[in-house]
Amino acid sequence: MAGIYVHIPFCRKACHYCDFHFSTSLSNRKPMVDAICQELRQHSDTLTGEGIETIYFGGGTPSVLLKSELIQILDTIKDCFSLSAEIECTLEANPDDCSTQNLQDWFESGVNRLSIGVQSFDQRDLTWMNRSHDHLQATASILEAEKVGYKSINLDLIYGVPTMPADVWKSNVQQALNLPINHISAYSLTVEQGTALHHFVKTKKYPSLDEEKSAIEFEYFLNEIKTKGWEQYEISNYCKPGGYAQHNTNYWKQKAYIGVGPSAHSYQSGYRRWNIANNAKYLRAIEQGDIFFSDEKLSETDQINELIMLGLRTKWGVDTSAILDEFNFDLDKHVGQEIKNYERSGKLTQSGGIITLTDQGKLIADRIAAALFTTE
């Protein structure tokens, strides 16, 4: 089974840390929806023989869509693809968009999972990040979503904020765990090139990030969710039993997915393509029938390295036997010493041919993945 990702490239406000593709002008929203539907129709024969089990509206801020626009996209998907009876349909939403009416509209349209971008329950943090909602909306959005009938709700949190005191982070964690949600995505703040945050740090308007502070907050969060019976099934994703985000889980397991809209990516059987990250050029190309994407066929080396990188991020780990069977590549033969070194230092474990990171290893997951990559 496969998935569909729909990138809605609009936001009402630019968060200081965000480097995703979006525009703060909503003037082309309707033409963009039409173009996305046209691209979906172009993909109608892409996943021949595969049904769709997940739909994910990301961005940007998908919650800026009108009900009619959301239905237009979903109806196009239904017309073009075979959908699973138990489909997971996720909409990313900002708390300030989560009015009772909007929540009901999304629910009636077929959305059965929300991912709400809270980030923090502290007003000082929200102001520092330049978020469009306030601390009261952060809580109210989730409580209202439960009243409307949503059973699957994710909440986003950011840690490692240099101006956030330790007690505020702890309060954020406790408030989140006491809300009617079944999933949390917790991300360490990063400074990305081209963002306002990058400029502020470079010009010393904002303090630099502190890796030790971020690690301490990560460890606190990990301990608290385990105490409450939650599970960390991917480095940044945590859920109550059975609350996995199926769409993202499919990414990590390298299942096929289609991405539509500016900057969206698609993947199928070692073949990847990505759309142009420019609203005007995307719209013009769709209208004129021009090419609006780039693509590549991943080499076996790239595919092996992706399996390592993605597998290490998850509780399912890296299956060395599967790599050997599919690519005739013996990971232990090539990087066995590196594996043993990280195992001795308590950063990973290896059992039954499955390599998984320990809690300490998760703090340096990218470094470990790079050490296990192959160049052959």
Q: How far apart are CA 174 and CA 83, in angstroms?
A: 37
Q: How far apart are CA 325 and CA 318, in angstroms?
A: 13
pLDDT tens digits along 2-31: 999 999 999 999 999 999 999 999 999 999
- Residue 291 counted as domain residue: no
Is residue 237 a contact partner of residue 245, using CB atoms and an 8 Å limit? yes
Is residue 3 a contact partner of residue 253, using CB atoms and an 8 Å limit? no
Query: Please, which pLDDT band fits residue 46 given cuts at 50, 70 and 90?
Result: confident
Judged on CB neighbours under 10 Å (0-12, 13-18, 19+), 204 is exposed
Residue 326 has a pLDDT of 93
- Residue 162 counted as domain residue: yes
Mean pLDDT (the chain, rounded):
95
Of 16, 36, 55, 74, give the one whose Cα is nearest residue 250.
55
- Residue 85 counted as domain residue: yes
Mean pLDDT to the nearest integer, 45-72: 92
Residue 87 has a pLDDT of 96
pLDDT tens digits along 69-121: 999 999 999 999 999 989 999 999 999 999 999 999 999 999 999 999 999 99
First-to-last alpha carbon distance for the chain, in angstroms, is: 31
In a shared domain, residues 7 and 106:
yes
In a shared domain, residues 219 and 315:
no
pLDDT value at 188 more than 90: yes
In a shared domain, residues 220 and 311:
no
- Residue 244 counted as domain residue: yes
CATH number for 189 = 3.20.20.70
Residue 31 has a pLDDT of 97
In a shared domain, residues 308 and 235:
no
Tokens 């759309």 locate to: 275
- Residue 239 counted as domain residue: yes
Q: What does pTM read for this prediction?
A: 0.96
Number of domains within the chain: 2
Asked which of 252, 279, 313 is the last residue of a domain, the reply is: 252
In a shared domain, residues 192 and 48:
yes
Query: Dmax of the chain from CA atoms?
Result: 59
- What is residue 175's three-state secondary structure? helix
Q: How far apart are CA 64 and CA 97, in angstroms?
A: 7
pLDDT value at 376 more than 80: no
Alpha helices in the chain (DSSP H): 29-42, 67-80, 100-109, 123-129, 135-148, 166-177, 196-202, 211-227, 246-252, 279-288, 300-312, 320-327, 331-344, 359-362, 365-372
CATH number for 321 = 1.10.10.920
In a shared domain, residues 242 and 304:
no
Asked which of 252, 278, 313 is the last residue of a domain, the reply is: 252
Q: How far apart are CA 75 and CA 72, in angstroms?
A: 5
Which phi and psi (to 5°) does residue 175 adopt? -65, -40
Strand partners for 225: none
pLDDT value at 49 more than 90: no
In a shared domain, residues 232 and 356:
no
Q: How far apart are CA 307 and CA 320, in angstroms?
A: 10
185 lies in which domain range?
Answer: 2-252
Task: State yes or no: cis peptide before 160, omega within 30 of 0.
Answer: no
- Residue 189 counted as domain residue: yes
Q: How far apart are CA 80 and CA 44, in angstroms?
A: 5
User: How many Cβ atoms are within 10 Å of 132's Cβ, its own excluded?
Assistant: 18
Q: How far apart are CA 168 and CA 232, in angstroms?
A: 22
Residue 50 has a pLDDT of 78
Mean pLDDT to the nearest integer, 153-175: 97
In a shared domain, residues 235 and 357:
no
Residue 269 has a pLDDT of 86
Of 98, 110, 109, 108, give the one whose Cα is nearest residue 146.
98
- Residue 240 counted as domain residue: yes
Of 291, 308, 290, give the one whose Cα is nearest residue 300.
308
- Residue 286 counted as domain residue: no
pLDDT tens digits along 267-290: 998 999 999 999 999 999 999 999
In a shared domain, residues 199 and 312:
no
Is residue 36 a contact partner of residue 80, using CB atoms and an 8 Å limit? no
